[in-house]
Amino acid sequence: MDSEFFQVVLNYINVIFFTFTVVLFSMFTLMGYLSTRNSIHYRNKNSFGDLSKVMASPLAPSITIIAPAYNEGLTIVENIRSLLSLRYVNYEVMVVNDGSKDDTLQKMIEAYDLVKVPREIDPEWKSKPIRGIYRSKHRSFSKLTVVDKENGGKSDALNTGMALSSNQYVGCIDVDCLLLPDALLHVVKSFYQRSEKRVIAVGGVIRVANSCVIQGGRLEEIRLPKNWLARFQLLEYTRSFILGRMAWGRIDSLLIISGAFGFFDREIANAVGGYDTNTVGEDMEIVFRMRRYMHDRKMPYTVEYIPDSLCWTEVPEDLKILVNQRDRWARGNLETLKTHRDMFFNSKYGRLGLISYPYWFFYEWMAPLLEFFGLFTIIIFYYLGILNFDFFLAITAAVYMYSIMFSFYAILWDVYSYNEYKKTKDILILMFCAIIEPITFHPIVVWAAVRGNYKKLFKIKSGWGSQVRKGFAKAT
């Protein structure tokens, strides 16, 4: 009787895992198709037109780039120099010093000859208190504004920038990100190329800058990262940005814009209350609220996505820092899904409720947990002598081979479309990473996700965690 019961349970589990695997294979295949169509459409649409005309026009829409800074004294001067060198007329760089404990503020004051300027602050100010606002005495740095405030976290710093800005659009970036000179031109074009819908947000690809040659705030030479952890993240970013987000953009269902490179319609962003300071997944959560705001008012809108390589950032090369980062991402994902759980299979929100939210729930949140606990299930079944080796080996081999195939496609499509890494050796190294990633890097990501969910579910207090970087100054 017991053996029959176990056999029935095992059969049900086999069916569940098989169904889940088939659904994932189907979704990722469709994702590859949609991203390819969208990439081709984007290239054809943007193969003509002179962006420099937008840059030169005095009627160009105004943009404020908000860059929160916390203990960035090592590289802050070079980072600001990079932001001030963008090819655009009507923009402002607003660096928000979020209570740094090092010499970040002092270095900015000395390098750019800043002086405190008087400015009235709303008495009902919701963010942490502002200690001072600084502008440069030199006309060459007229685009720079520095806000010094008490520490309140990245979300609070971004909200401060949005509240102080008077421009039409705001760009929320990491201060240590490197934007290419034409980045704002592409962003403005994305905001204005739609006539029937209001573009409320624009996101883009994040490229890995580790080991690249960067001088004077400019990207001089693109190189493959020397660190293996960085290489795995490069592969992961290629899949996520070139295939994943391009696919969601194709069906206008993108639910996340990277915090390292995100631009918003300031009016809509302020209307929803800005960033949520009670979550560590603020970049995803604000897109949820902005989309819901437009949906509830039945206003035609869209979120645009730029696949061009406009933003380069440094990824963690230390295992502990990487795990802390993915731990935080998992907590932010769960917080956002919980906050907006009424969207789950809610036809009121169209594709967002019926496709996007379920995908994030089943794949981004549930899949790592199923992988982790599935391992223990296999061990228990093996111990009980009821493990179906043939089925286990077949489905494991299928998942492994499909993951390699999908990664290969991402690499080759990136080479065909953008060709950032031109050496054959670099492409072969990335393919080797794709082969060993499922048994080396992926388990680390799964463990970090499980740890993040555990902390959140059992209310273990944990913030952003240490995000120590080497800095672009040493990447040269």
The pLDDT tens digits for 84-115 are 989 898 899 999 999 999 999 999 999 999 99
**Between 43 and 447, the higher pLDDT residue:** 447
The DSSP secondary structure of 19-35, one letter per residue, reads: HHHHHHHHHHHHHHHHH
Q: Report the DSSP beta bridge partners of residue 289.
A: none
Neighbours of 72 (CB within 10 A): 26
* Residue 355 pLDDT: 94
Count Cβ neighbours within 10 Å for each residue of 405-437 and write b for 16 or more, e otherwise: ebbebbbebbbebbebbeeeebbebbeebbeeb
* Residue 476 pLDDT: 38
Taking the mean position of all CA atoms in its chain, how far away is CA 143? 26
How would residue 193 be classed by pLDDT, with cut points 50, 70 and 90? confident
Over residues 304-322, mean pLDDT: 93
Question: Secondary structure of the chain: what % helix, strand, coil (to 5)?
Answer: 55, 15, 30
Tokens of 202: 């624009």
Count Cβ neighbours within 10 Å for each residue of 348-362 and write b for 16 or more, e otherwise: ebeebbbbbbebbbe
Query: Which 3 state secondary structure label does DSSP give 94?
Result: strand
Give the CA diameter of the chain.
Answer: 86
Q: What are the pLDDT digits (tens) for 455-465?
A: 998 888 766 55
Q: What are the pLDDT digits (tens) for 325-344?
A: 999 999 999 999 999 999 99
Residue 466 pLDDT > 60: no
340: number of CA atoms within 13 Å, CB side? 30
Over residues 47-65, mean pLDDT: 72
pTM above 0.85, yes or no: yes
DSSP state of 365: I
Percent of the chain predicted with pLDDT > 90? 64
Do 61 and 191 form a contact (C-beta atoms < 8 A)? yes
Do 64 and 36 form a contact (C-beta atoms < 8 A)? no
Q: How many residues does the chain have?
A: 476
Count Cβ neighbours within 10 Å for each residue of 260-293 and write b for 16 or more, e otherwise: bbbbbbbebbeebebbbbebbbbbbbbbbbbbbb
Give alpha helix (H) positions in 257-308.
266-271, 282-296
